[in-house]
């Protein structure tokens, strides 16, 4: 009898509601007052006669049976549980009254001690509800939860933690988890198999798995760091053949460093291309990208291009050599995955974004890709986002790229791609990477709100008139790491007081102008010459002429900030005369 008392103590109306629903529990409470009920206790179950039906109560209660035709937990079982709990509860009440009489006869200090510990006891009881009563839920294997949620959804959950609406968790005799974004409610019971979800699935559905995961995070059983997902590319890496590839790459790099640039043959570019293909086959995308960048440097050298710099080539060769040595020394698949990198950027759902088109730039990377990058500024968070229209060109043999103005804008927008550079849009159901790169997913839809309008007051996080403050806030921690800071952290709007010394250096093959603020602090605007940058330089020359003739004041420049030779420099992406 004592065992049944303990088991029934934890059963509340919330628990019964989780087994059935609120309507059945309410009806059972009402019918219990007008129904004849009798109880017999056996070793393994309680037999309760409820009117004309017989219920056999066992634990867990979800396995209880009734003689009525119902195949689920019916009102008769609920009535039987409520009756049994009431009967054993009345016996416990008599025992409590006797215990109370003994307490009243005890010394006063003991009563004072109980009052002193009252608040702590209540806190411990609440904490007990969170953990002690839900052992199987707390210890439910993470691997099973991942399978039920799915890899893609699991990644979305991890990368969007803290961005969307959080779950609402209520702990009583059951755990109730509400997902505000979908309206789904999950009631978690012990054992987990008897939990219920408003999606009405009996098995462990995605919502139940997410609810268990939320509760484990809520109690501290799991930390966010435990949920770092593995990408498909990392899972697919095989150690077989990678070591041999590492030896081959190290041997090639040692040969190039020993040969020297002056004695290098143009055939080295073919060798680099073959190694890049091997990297791709071995699922080593970061090695493939670096080899194509080195290939691009060699091609600049053999073409006698003015933009070629020996230091850049030497740096790329040495950094890849160190990476190849690390590949050889790696012992685990996790180490290999970290060195390999990823073939594709992972994109994850993001909240609705109100975006201002700030400009665009064409690019042709040394790793063999070209296209355009469009820059956006979020009106709500003042964070930078980019959209890249890109394609590989390392097999095109000089074929001309289709101009971007013939391309259609993404996200179902009724405009050309090039119009995004000056547009104000509202993006729904979008996806973005960890670096705020926007995806062209067909699920997203954007609303065109007209041309952008910039106001100084709303640009405070990104707008600078004081170059010293700009250096302290943006570059002070990374000024020694020239060019290594992520681009989204280097994008900035600067407003100079004047522009001086605009000129093209025919030896260095680069165009530059000096921008000064009120304190006479300098930033050098700099653009190296190339076929891609030819029109950019001509545009800047006309701008400098207009400023020099007094036809216009110095505009606000938008660009990418970096440090070179100890001087703050800016690569210009756009400029604005209409800043309010």
Residues 560-580: tens digit of each pLDDT: 998 888 888 999 999 998 777
Buried b (16+ CB within 10 A) or exposed e, 414-427: eeebbbbbebbbeb
What is the pLDDT at residue 90?
A: 60
Segment (H or E) for 369: strand 369-378
Cα separation, 191 vs 303, in Å, equals: 72
The Cβ-side half-sphere exposure at 406, using a 13 Å CA radius, reads 4
Neighbours of 478 (CB within 10 A): 16
Residues β-bridged to residue 353: 427
Q: How sure is the predictor about 89, in pLDDT bands with cuts at 50, 70 and 90?
A: low
CA distances from 90 to 5, 84, 313, 555 (A): 11, 10, 86, 84
Is the C-alpha dihedral spanning 446, 452, 453, 454 positive or negative?
Answer: positive
What is the pLDDT at residue 558?
A: 93
Q: Reply yes or no on whether the pLDDT at 331 is more than 70.
A: yes
Neighbours of 137 (CB within 10 A): 22
Q: Reply yes or no on whether the pLDDT at 113 is more than 60.
A: no
The Cβ-side half-sphere exposure at 110, using a 13 Å CA radius, reads 6
Beta strand pairing call for 498-505 and 175-179: unpaired
Q: Reply yes or no on whether the pLDDT at 522 is more than 80.
A: yes
Q: How sure is the predictor about 393, in pLDDT bands with cuts at 50, 70 and 90?
A: low
Q: Cβ(344)–Cβ(233) under 8 Å?
A: yes
Cα separation, 18 vs 367, in Å, equals: 58
Cα separation, 215 vs 367, in Å, equals: 46
What is the pLDDT at residue 564?
A: 83
φ/ψ region of 150 (left if φ > 0, alpha if ψ in -120 to 50, else beta) reads: left
Neighbours of 126 (CB within 10 A): 10
Q: How sure is the predictor about 363, in pLDDT bands with cuts at 50, 70 and 90?
A: confident
DSSP letter (8 states) at residue 53: E
Q: Check residues 88 and 118 and name the one with the higher pLDDT.
A: 88
Coil, helix or strand at residue 99: helix
What is the pLDDT at residue 110?
A: 37
Beta strand pairing call for 522-528 and 567-576: parallel
Q: How sure is the predictor about 124, in pLDDT bands with cuts at 50, 70 and 90?
A: very low
Q: Reply yes or no on whether the pLDDT at 334 is more than 90.
A: no
Coil, helix or strand at residue 366: coil
Q: Check residues 246 and 241 and name the one with the higher pLDDT.
A: 246
- The architecture of the domain spanning 458-576 is Beta Barrel (2.40)
Segment 381-405 shows an average pLDDT of 66
Q: Where are the domains of the chain?
A: 2-105, 134-229, 234-340, 348-453, 458-576
What is the pLDDT at residue 232?
A: 44
Cα separation, 251 vs 361, in Å, equals: 38
Residues β-bridged to residue 21: none
> Does the domain at residues 348-453 carry the CATH identifier 2.60.40?
no
Which of 262-271, 398-407, 430-439, 524-533 is predicted least confidently? 398-407
Q: Cβ(185)–Cβ(197) under 8 Å?
A: yes
Q: Which of 256, 293, 255 is nearest to 273 (CA)?
A: 293
Q: How sure is the predictor about 492, in pLDDT bands with cuts at 50, 70 and 90?
A: very high
Cα separation, 557 vs 571, in Å, equals: 10
The separation between CA 347 and the C-alpha centre of its own chain, rounded to angstroms, equals 8
Neighbours of 146 (CB within 10 A): 17
Q: How sure is the predictor about 512, in pLDDT bands with cuts at 50, 70 and 90?
A: very high
Q: How sure is the predictor about 127, in pLDDT bands with cuts at 50, 70 and 90?
A: very low
| Extended beta strands in 69-224, E state | 168-171, 175-179, 184-188, 196-197
- The predicted-structure confidence for 191-245, as pLDDT tens digits, reads as follows 777 788 888 777 888 888 888 888 888 888 888 777 766 544 444 445 667 888 8
- The predicted-structure confidence for 171-182, as pLDDT tens digits, reads as follows 877 788 888 767
Cα separation, 51 vs 38, in Å, equals: 9
Q: How sure is the predictor about 426, in pLDDT bands with cuts at 50, 70 and 90?
A: very high
- The predicted-structure confidence for 134-153, as pLDDT tens digits, reads as follows 778 888 888 888 888 877 67
Cα separation, 83 vs 177, in Å, equals: 29
Q: Is 409 exposed, middle or buried (0-12, 13-18, 19+ CB in 10 A)?
A: buried
Topology match between the domains 348-453 and 458-576: yes
Cα separation, 464 vs 517, in Å, equals: 10
Segment 408-416 shows an average pLDDT of 86
Q: Is 375 exposed, middle or buried (0-12, 13-18, 19+ CB in 10 A)?
A: buried
Q: What are the CB-based long-range contacts (under 8 Å, 24+) for 261-266?
A: 261/301, 261/310, 261/313, 264/298, 264/301, 266/302
Q: Which of 285, 283, 294 is nearest to 242 (CA)?
A: 283
Cα separation, 405 vs 416, in Å, equals: 6
Q: Reply yes or no on whether the pLDDT at 286 is more than 70.
A: yes
DSSP letter (8 states) at residue 347: -
Query: Mean pLDDT score of the chain, rounded to an integer?
Result: 78
Segment 400-408 shows an average pLDDT of 52
What is the pLDDT at residue 119?
A: 44
Segment 489-517 shows an average pLDDT of 90
Cα separation, 440 vs 410, in Å, equals: 6
Q: Is the peptide bond prior to 27 cis by the omega test (within 30 degrees of 0)?
A: no
Which of 116-125, 255-264, 440-449 is predicted least confidently? 116-125
DSSP for 225-277, written as a single string: GGGPPPPHHHHT--STTHHHHHHHHHHHHHHHHHH-STT--TTHHHHHHHHHH
Radius of gyration of the chain (CA): 34
Segment 112-121 shows an average pLDDT of 43
| Percentage of the residues of the chain whose pLDDT score is greater than 90 | 15
Cα separation, 207 vs 225, in Å, equals: 21
Range with the largest mean pLDDT of 100-114, 193-207, 398-412, 446-460: 446-460
- The predicted-structure confidence for 21-72, as pLDDT tens digits, reads as follows 778 888 888 888 777 888 777 666 788 888 888 888 887 777 788 888 887 7
Query: What crossing angle do the helices spanning 333-340 and 285-302 adopt, rounded to 10°?
Result: 40
Cα separation, 291 vs 288, in Å, equals: 5
What is the pLDDT at residue 240?
A: 60
- pTM of the predicted structure, to 2 decimals: 0.54
């Amino acid at each position: 009898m004592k065992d049944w008392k303990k088991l029934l103590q934890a059963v509340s109306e919330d628990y019964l509601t989780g087994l059935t629903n609120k309507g059945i529990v309410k009806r059972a409470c009402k019918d219990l007052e007008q129904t004849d009920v009798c109880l017999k206790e056996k070793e393994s179950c309680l037999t309760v006669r409820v009117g004309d039906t017989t219920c056999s109560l066992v634990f867990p209660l979800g396995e209880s049976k009734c003689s009525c035709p119902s195949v689920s937990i019916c009102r008769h079982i609920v009535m039987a549980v409520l009756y049994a709990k009431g009967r054993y509860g009345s016996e416990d009440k008599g025992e409590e009254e006797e215990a109370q009489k003994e307490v009243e006869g005890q010394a006063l200090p003991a009563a004072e001690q109980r009052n002193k510990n009252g608040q702590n006891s209540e806190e411990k009881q609440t904490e007990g509800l969170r953990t002690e009563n839900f052992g199987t839920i707390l210890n439910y294997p993470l691997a099973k939860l991942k399978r039920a949620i799915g890899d893609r959804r699991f990644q979305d959950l991890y990368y969007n933690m803290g961005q969307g609406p959080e779950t609402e968790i209520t702990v009583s005799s059951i755990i109730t988890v509400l997902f505000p974004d979908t309206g789904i409610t999950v009631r978690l019971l012990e054992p987990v198999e008897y939990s219920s979800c408003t999606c009405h699935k009996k098995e462990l559905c995605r919502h139940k798995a997410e609810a268990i995961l939320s509760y484990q995070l809520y109690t501290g059983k799991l930390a966010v760091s435990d949920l770092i997902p593995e990408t498909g590319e990392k899972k697919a890496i095989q150690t077989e053949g990678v070591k041999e590839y590492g030896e081959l790459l190290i041997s090639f790099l040692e040969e190039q460093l020993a040969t020297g640039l002056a004695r290098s043959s143009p055939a080295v570019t073919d060798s680099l291309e073959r190694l890049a293909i091997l990297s791709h086959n071995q699922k080593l995308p970061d090695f493939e990208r670096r080899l194509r960048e080195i290939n691009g440097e060699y091609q600049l050298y053999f073409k006698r291009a003015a933009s070629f710099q020996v230091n850049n080539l030497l740096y790329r060769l040495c950094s890849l050599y160190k990476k190849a040595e690390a590949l050889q020394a790696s012992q685990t698949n996790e180490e290999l995955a970290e060195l390999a990198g990823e073939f594709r950027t992972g994109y994850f759902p993001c909240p609705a974004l109100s975006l201002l088109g700030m400009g665009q730039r064409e690019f042709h990377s040394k790793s063999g890709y070209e296209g355009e990058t469009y820059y956006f500024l979020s009106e709500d968070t003042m964070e930078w986002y980019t959209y890249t229209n890109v394609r590989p060109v390392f097999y095109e043999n000089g074929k001309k790229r289709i101009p971007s103005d013939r391309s259609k804008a993404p996200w179902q927008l009724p405009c050309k791609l090039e119009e995004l550079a000056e547009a104000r849009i509202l993006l729904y159901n979008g996806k973005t990477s960890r670096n705020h790169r926007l995806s062209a997913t067909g699920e997203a839809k954007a609303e065109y709100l007209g041309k952008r309008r910039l106001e100084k007051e709303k640009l405070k996080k990104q707008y600078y008139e004081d170059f010293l403050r700009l250096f302290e806030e943006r570059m002070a921690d990374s000024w020694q790491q020239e060019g290594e800071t992520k681009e989204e952290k280097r994008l900035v709007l600067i407003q100079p007081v004047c522009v001086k010394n605009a000129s093209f250096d025919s030896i260095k093959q680069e165009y530059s102008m000096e921008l000064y603020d009120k304190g006479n602090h300098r930033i050098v605007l700099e653009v190296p010459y190339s076929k891609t940058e030819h029109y950019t330089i001509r545009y800047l020359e006309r701008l400098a002429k207009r400023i020099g003739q007094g036809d216009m004041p110095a505009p606000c420049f938008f660009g990418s900030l970096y440090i070179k030779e100890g001087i703050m420099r800016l690569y210009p992406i756009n400029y604005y005369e209409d800043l309010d």
